[in-house]
Chains A and B, each alone.
Chain A
């Protein structure tokens, strides 16, 4: 997932430009002079981040989206730390994108992807908490007629130290809300050694509603007078609607409308969703499939294969002279890997609810990026930003599908526009979700390594050939045509830094795009890059006759943080010591989204093709660990996503369309296949790395390397089901 802003139409672009340079310092100011800004229930807003009710309840505003990853709780912890409020009195709410626009983007970025929820907003949300605390303390001091410097705050209680008098945040909130915001220079943050709640495994704030059925997801929404819609977009990407026979289904139970959506989709609107879906299934639609109907997985693979040896490629990471090094190698090692299209398949299919009148358009949607949903709403409705609003609803999973893409919002608005005044809930079938994805890009890689006569790696050429997400989604973010995102984990430095020193190195990308729309799939390009690199590292080690850990260590002395997590998993797993009978081990390491990660997998293989992943030891150094309990859950969960991808998941293309339509052909791990995951969280401080995605990338290569250790077989194309290999 990328850090860039969404595509905006002309109208909303004005909104976007107005936001540029507004600066997050606005988050520390009351935007309307000294008049009190009030929450809907009338409680005073201390600043944009904090509302305090008379009963001492603290409402913390969170702009990023909670989709299971725990960011809501983590961000609330950050605000609480500086606010010095009572954690047991904390609750959260989402500001709306419309409010954000009206208040000059006071809450900053809404985008929740790229493992950015905490790492890109920790500073301004903590400052928001600190500024509110300063105001609350000042208000108490004013009430007592004492200097604020004589007062302290803890657990939502303010104490005048010389006299021992106390008051609470709830009691001084009104007065605090009338005070000017402190100057930015007065708002300092605690040293990490003083943290009391950051770093603690406090319970997440959003569990109860998820176990009682009370939590409302987008798909559950009900509005008065609402109708329900089911939609089919042309299954061949780029194709169009040729014709459909609405009369054949108009008399079916509950059916109210049969509408075309742009020139690419048809929707049935009915009283209930089941009626809409049933009628849509019966609706004869003829598609104009266009030239893409000739494309298949085989033709795409040929295109990518040609890129492996192409002269032209975008260079991202280079030192020395790799050609000469390979030509002069004592031993040359070469391998070609390939990674398939994959679908996000969150448990809740795509959906959005829209209500349109010529005066106002409102959308309720589970989204990873409220601002992008807002941009889609203004564009599709044709209304100016001040006549639009988006309400974020809980997400039943996101994984990147609900961040950069709001095709379902556009559809919902375009349907609602044809039925003005009536709210319409559009819910995709699982089948639609499977064939209208924004797929993990398809990629091949050819790796050539040069070993000297002592088995040292002297040269490495890693050629990637395949799809560029940015070209399809955010072309404005390409750099001279190059998609830097393709190289995640392979960069010379930064949040995705390559962890090895190789005297002669070349990592480049032959861009080969397809008509299948690519997207940001949890982990994005680190997943295949880690497989290519970390499996090939072990191929090199084998060719050199060296232990895979020792072979890596020799290349990592200048990358101490990469090395530290690798050492941690090796130590915990007992690398170098005998494994239990029938158990083999494999390693992998990577840096992604600002965090250093490594894993050691232990597998047993029976019959050559049944893999039991028994144990995973995984380490991460995210700099700071805000909530270790949630980090553990993200690590364990990332292995489910990553190993499902490795073993089971591939979207194949036939006649221009995706062949997999539901979980019977696009499977996902079950509890029986779940390995025991042991997490080592080892924050070394001084930086903020991501959590939701990084560890996913070491899942597959660690298991593949363990499989190789067990069988001597090196698998280079995925998923493993294509080789008859199953996860037991």
Chain B
């Protein structure tokens, strides 16, 4: 049994402590916005915030997440108001299939917290998520739009 704090709520999860955080979030807590893409921290579809840092949850064991503040895509909006990154994503119509976008948005939200006005070089360095539909052109535009918001 491990106690996780996700989106401000505490959940008791009954899993082997080596279970990746991703699967505790999806299968125990029932938040499926965070996606499985590769299981090797290569694609970023599983990105969540752990103590405010963008973290690939598919390789982080539950045991390492205990006592930390975890935010998933479902917890990014506050009181029903979209986060500025989500809003920029809607305005710029970024998603195509959308499967990778939760992870992409979480990675971008963490970047903007660190660097409110990121340059293209900052974006290139920080955003390494895979998108097979190829939304990168809109992702870049939306990041700059969110930075101005």
Interface residues of A (CB under 8 A from B): 67-70, 203-204, 206-217, 219-220, 222, 228, 253, 272-274, 345-349, 394-399, 427, 429-430, 629, 633, 636-641, 644, 662-664, 668-672, 674, 676-677
Which A residues touch B39, using CB under 8 A? 429-430, 662
Smallest Cβ distance from A597 to chain B, in angstroms? Answer: 16
Which A residues touch B73, using CB under 8 A? 211-213
Q: Are B72 and A213 in contact, CB atoms less than 8 angstroms apart?
A: yes
Known: A212-B73, A347-B100. A637 touches B135 (CB 8 A): yes
Q: Are A633 and B35 in contact, CB atoms less than 8 angstroms apart?
A: no
Which A residues touch B45, using CB under 8 A? 347
Of chain A, the residue at the smallest CB distance from B58 is A430
Known: A207-B93, A395-B97. A213 touches B32 (CB 8 A): yes
Smallest Cβ distance from B110 to chain A, in angstroms? Answer: 15
Q: Are A671 and B127 in contact, CB atoms less than 8 angstroms apart?
A: yes
Most buried by B among A220, A228, A395, A629: A220
Known: A210-B95, A637-B135, A638-B134. A663 touches B140 (CB 8 A): no
Smallest Cβ distance from B40 to chain A, in angstroms? Answer: 5
Q: Are A211 and B95 in contact, CB atoms less than 8 angstroms apart?
A: yes
Q: Could you list 29 examples of A-B contacts with CB < 8 Å?
A: A68-B98, A207-B93, A208-B90, A210-B89, A210-B95, A211-B73, A212-B33, A212-B73, A212-B82, A212-B86, A213-B31, A213-B73, A220-B32, A228-B27, A272-B28, A274-B15, A274-B27, A347-B35, A348-B97, A399-B132, A430-B40, A640-B132, A662-B39, A663-B42, A663-B43, A668-B43, A670-B136, A671-B123, A671-B127
A629 to B96, CA, bound (A): 12
Known: A212-B33, A671-B124. A641 touches B132 (CB 8 A): yes
Give the contacting residue for B136; candidates A69, A397, A674; CB below 8 A.
A674
B25-56 CB contacts (< 8 Å) to partner A: 26-28, 30-40, 42-43, 45
Which A residues touch B70, using CB under 8 A? none
Instruction: Please report whether the interface of chain B is mostly helix, strand, loop or mixed according to DSSP.
Output: loop
Which A residues touch B23, using CB under 8 A? 272-274
Which A residues touch B89, using CB under 8 A? 207, 210-211
Number of A-B contacts (CB under 8 A): 180
Which B residues touch A669, using CB under 8 A? 134, 136
A690 to B134, CA, bound (A): 18
Smallest Cβ distance from A476 to chain B, in angstroms? Answer: 31
Q: Are B27 and A668 in contact, CB atoms less than 8 angstroms apart?
A: no
Q: Are B34 and A213 in contact, CB atoms less than 8 angstroms apart?
A: yes
B78 touches A (CB below 8 Å)? no
A27 to B5, CA, bound (A): 52
Most buried by B among A208, A253, A633, A641: A633
Q: Are A671 and B139 in contact, CB atoms less than 8 angstroms apart?
A: yes
B74 touches A (CB below 8 Å)? yes
Q: Are B82 and A211 in contact, CB atoms less than 8 angstroms apart?
A: yes
A208 to B75, CA, bound (A): 15
Give 11 new A-B contacts, CB below 8 A, not counting A207-B90, A397-B133, A671-B139.
A70-B96, A210-B101, A212-B86, A272-B23, A274-B15, A346-B99, A636-B135, A640-B131, A663-B40, A670-B124, A671-B136
Of chain B, the residue at the smallest CB distance from A396 is B99
A70 to B74, CA, bound (A): 24
Which A residues touch B133, using CB under 8 A? 68, 347, 397, 637, 640-641
